[in-house]
Chain A
Amino acid sequence: MSAVTAPATASAGPRPLADVATMLRRSLLRAVRYPGLTVFLVAGPLVMLLLFVHVFGGAFGAGVAPGVTPGAEGRAAYLDYITPTLLVLTVVGGATSVATSAAMDAAGGIMARFRTMAIAPGSVLSGQVLGFTVQALAALVLLLGAAVATGYRPDAGVAGWFAVVGLLVLLSLALNWLCVAMGLHARSVETASNLPMILLLLPFLGSGFVPVDTMPGAVRWFAEHQPFTPVIETLRGLLTGTGTETAVVQAVAWCLVIGVAGYLWARSLFRRERRL
């Protein structure tokens, strides 16, 4: 009962790294073919930048920094305050897109095709996660450019910038894994981004737009204990050169927890049998 031999052209044995690289290339090629998505990632935070800084900022700035007078000084202070938040929102936006993309793969036949091929199973989702992290980085550069163009002048040094990029990449990977799982969990492409939308709200219920000590009791408790607050505080600290160590540890810990949980959830959903 010996086998029909495998074709001589295909090299034997699994090659997970090659497969992940191939899937990453596919994800990036899709991004190039459909640049609207990357632009869309920047559009939301960009509108917020203009609205919150250049319309509301004159008043808001006086509320977030002691001793700042409303008007131009307020706008400058608020630009400093929310640019880190907008960077985080850009990353969250990227993660929302991963959910849609994963749901599209699952709804079309291509994910089933990949699952019938002798490839590293993890490469299918890893390619999406990494691809959208690269897209998020591109969107982050565009957004920072816009912030600088409107007067943003961060004080971070070289080490500080490395830390900023490192934390944003870590956050992106973690949220992308979580959102890939959410996308696979959804019953359709249309509903794939519903769960990730909740993530877009979290920076508002944290220290993203106003200091948490101005919030009422229960909201304040939630704001102090949710993952986005330490992430935003860490970025704010790094970009102004005044970080607190507790926030850094909490931020990294949250990212690791979210990333590992998202990865395990995504893996179990990917392995789940789908009715044909």
Chain B
Amino acid sequence: MTAATGPAIEIAGLCKTYRSRSGDRPVLDGLDLTVPAGTVTALLGPNGAGKTTTVGVLSTLLAPDAGTVRVAGHDVTTDAGAVRAAIGVTGQITAVDELLTGTENLRLMAALHHLGRAEGRRRTAELLDRLALAEAADTPVATWSGGMKRKLDLAMTLVGTPSVVFLDEPTTGLDPRSRRALWDEVRRLVADGTTILLTTQYLEEADRLADDVAVLHEGRIVARGAPDELKAVHDAGTLDDVFLALTAPPADQEDPR
């Protein structure tokens, strides 16, 4: 379905500062990142490193202060509409309508993608089935568990068959079974040619899912590579060790061990 000739995501020199009356807080400080089409890249980093801000810029919710950001070949600043047509976003806050049922939420997305009635119904049924939500589909989402809402959130993201998908901590708070179901879905999407950028706190998730890992620290990418490469380069047994070594706060770095 996708015919990618360039990278799906290209970020060069991205800077972003949150400005407020209580002072400016720089979050991204010259971030560079390229994600080839059809791959899964995991963005790792400690809390506050700028992962969510990066996803915010990529998904056109935040305007970059400096640098160029292209998604699916389109510039997020000058061609936001084309970027939006190509992407699907599952943010950190679950973005579902709690008063509606699962089916109604998915049909709402189908209508907004102008899929047409029959195709909308087909796509809704398919996604409900794929994410194992069919049983609860016609009950209001307010009565669902957090894990089910999360899966519906992902299903809503996929209704429009996006070529680039951003998942911001998609499995936070999910039980192991739901997490596996979500991983399976990610693998299926990549097999279909979708590009995925996911942020996560779970390094096991990055290790299992990602072709590539990018470690974000203090607003820049400090390491990049396949999980095994990173482990080898940093002479570490697990991604946890790599992560801790790369993202140590300054005080720890001065502390001789």
Contact = CB atoms under 8 A, between A and B. Distances in A.
Contacts of B160: 7, 10, 117
A3 B73 contact: yes
Contact of A3 (B1, B52, B82, B140): B82
A119 B112 contact: yes
Contacts of A116: 59-61, 84, 87, 89
Nearest to B166: A116
A270 B254 CA distance: 46
Contacts of A119: 112
Interface stretch (B90-98, B177-185, B223-231): B90-98
B172 interface: no
Given A4-B37, A273-B63, A112 B82 contact: no
Nearest to A119: B112
A9 interface: yes
Interface residues of A, number: 37
Nearest to B98: A108
Determine chain A's interface SS by DSSP, over half rule: loop
Interface residues of B, number: 58
B121 interface: no
Contacts of B6: 1-3
Nearest to B164: A4
B95 A276 contact: no
B86 A108 contact: no
Contacts of A113: 89, 91, 95, 156
A33 B99 contact: yes
Interface string B35-59: 0010000000000000011011001
B89 to A, nearest CB: 5
B104 interface: yes
A15 B115 CA distance: 12
B62 interface: yes
Interface string B197-225: 00000000000000000000000000000
Interface of B: 1-6, 8, 18, 20, 37, 52-53, 55-56, 59-63, 70, 72-74, 81-82, 84-87, 89, 91-100, 104, 108, 111-115, 119, 123, 140, 153, 156, 160-164, 195
Closest 10 CB pairs of A and B: A109-B95, A3-B73, A109-B93, A113-B95, A7-B161, A118-B85, A118-B84, A4-B72, A4-B163, A22-B111
Interface of A: 1-11, 14-15, 18-19, 22, 25-26, 29-30, 33-34, 108-110, 112-119, 273-276
28 contacts: A1-B73, A2-B73, A3-B6, A3-B73, A3-B82, A4-B163, A4-B164, A5-B2, A6-B85, A7-B161, A9-B119, A10-B160, A18-B114, A22-B108, A25-B111, A29-B100, A33-B140, A109-B91, A109-B96, A110-B96, A112-B91, A112-B93, A116-B60, A116-B61, A116-B87, A117-B112, A119-B112, A273-B61
